[in-house]
């Protein structure tokens, strides 16, 4: 049995992973712990095989950016040091695609991180500190997921869903985005735990997603009609030159699928098989049971 400790009591990804593996209680035992106070310092880690560190500061009202580094970097590294001393075998860190500092383009293994935000900078600093702690007996896993979505998810997907339901006409733009459904990400993490791997990984859905197709599917499962028009594309094209938001929505931003953990990569000689839910079904599930 794998004994796993998840940091972050309210973490969407951490909670989703716990719910995912709870279906197999014979092989996984999962606890959660808060990192908001100092109680974790006195908590014994010796019984755990894996720490899944999902606690982080993403947005803060604090004007001092040092809070990002105190939580996302320093706290992460101190947590990993404690885990290593306690004999934990694997430390999984949730990083971000934002370390590349761009909203568009194709990310490959040769792409160099160039974070722009304090959040992304602090995550990359944490990665560097964790990599120094990695050893044969202390596997460090760094995951840089693209946009994560699913039922009840916070952040950019929720904003896209709101936009889809309110916008009467949508541009008919052809673009490609890397995304990953929460259950697929949970299955990927489970695979990483099962295989006892270490390294840097880039999981994503099997297929790239077009924003227009995403909007169409969101509306379809909410019983709304979607009107799209190519006549609006010129507005988008001009706006993308000046607006970061428009680049995030309508630009193409993808991971090369052959990157480690991608759908065309190999994990211990086999192609990973963590897409448990197809794109259309994932949009339907993301709608939420209360709306079905």
Intervals of the chain under pLDDT 50: 289-292
For the chain, helix, strand, coil in percent to 5 are 40, 15, 40
What pLDDT, on a 0 to 100 scale, did the predictor assign at position 218? Answer: 93
Q: Rounded to an integer, what distance in angstroms lies between the CA atom of residue 2 and that of residue 26?
A: 9
| pLDDT score recorded for residue 155 | 80
Q: Do the beta carbons of residue 134 and residue 90 sit within 8 Å?
A: no
Q: What is the pLDDT of residue 288?
A: 61
pLDDT attached to residue 226: 83
Give the residue extent of every domain in the chain.
Answer: 2-144
Instruction: Give the pLDDT confidence of 54-104 residue by residue, as tens digits.
Output: 999 987 666 688 999 999 999 999 999 999 999 999 999 999 999 999 999
At the topology level of CATH, where does 2-144 sit?
A: Rossmann fold (3.40.50)
Whole-number pLDDT of residue 42: 92
pLDDT at 62: 62
Please report where in the chains the tokens 């092989």 appear, as a residue: 27
For residues 14, 16, 20, 22, the Cα torsion angle rounded to the nearest 10 degrees is: 70
pTM of the model: 0.94
pLDDT score, position 64: 80
What pLDDT score does 47 carry? 97
Average model confidence (pLDDT) for the chain? 93
């Amino acid at each position: 049995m794998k004994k796993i400790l998840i940091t972050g009591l309210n973490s969407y990804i951490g909670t989703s992973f716990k719910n995912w593996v709870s279906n197999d209680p014979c092989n996984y035992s999962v606890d959660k712990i808060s990192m908001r106070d100092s109680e974790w310092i006195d908590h014994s880690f010796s019984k755990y095989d894996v720490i899944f560190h999902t606690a982080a500061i993403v947005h803060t009202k604090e004007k001092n950016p040092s809070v990002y580094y105190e939580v996302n970097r320093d706290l992460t590294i101190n947590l990993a040091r404690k885990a290593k001393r306690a004999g934990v075998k694997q430390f999984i860190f949730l990083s971000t695609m934002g370390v590349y500092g761009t909203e568009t383009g194709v990310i490959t293994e040769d792409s160099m991180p160039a974070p722009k935000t304090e959040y992304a900078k602090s995550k990359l600093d944490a990665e560097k500190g964790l990599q120094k702690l990695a050893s044969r007996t202390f596997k460090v896993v760094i995951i840089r997921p693209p946009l994560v979505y699913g039922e009840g998810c916070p952040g950019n997907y929720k904003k896209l869903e709101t936009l889809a339901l309110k916008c009467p006409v949508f541009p008919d733009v052809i673009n490609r985005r890397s995304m990953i459904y929460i259950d697929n990400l949970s299955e990927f993490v489970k695979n990483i735990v099962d295989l006892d791997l270490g390294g840097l990984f880039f999981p994503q859905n099997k297929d790239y997603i077009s924003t227009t197709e995403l909007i169409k599917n969101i509306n379809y499962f909410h019983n709304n009609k979607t009107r799209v028009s190519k006549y609006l594309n010129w507005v988008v094209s001009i706006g993308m030159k000046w607006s970061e938001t428009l680049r995030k929505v309508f630009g193409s931003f993808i991971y090369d699928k052959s990157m480690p953990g991608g759908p065309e990569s190999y994990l211990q000689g086999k192609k990973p098989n963590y897409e448990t839910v197809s794109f259309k079904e994932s949009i339907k599930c993301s709608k939420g049971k209360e709306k079905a």
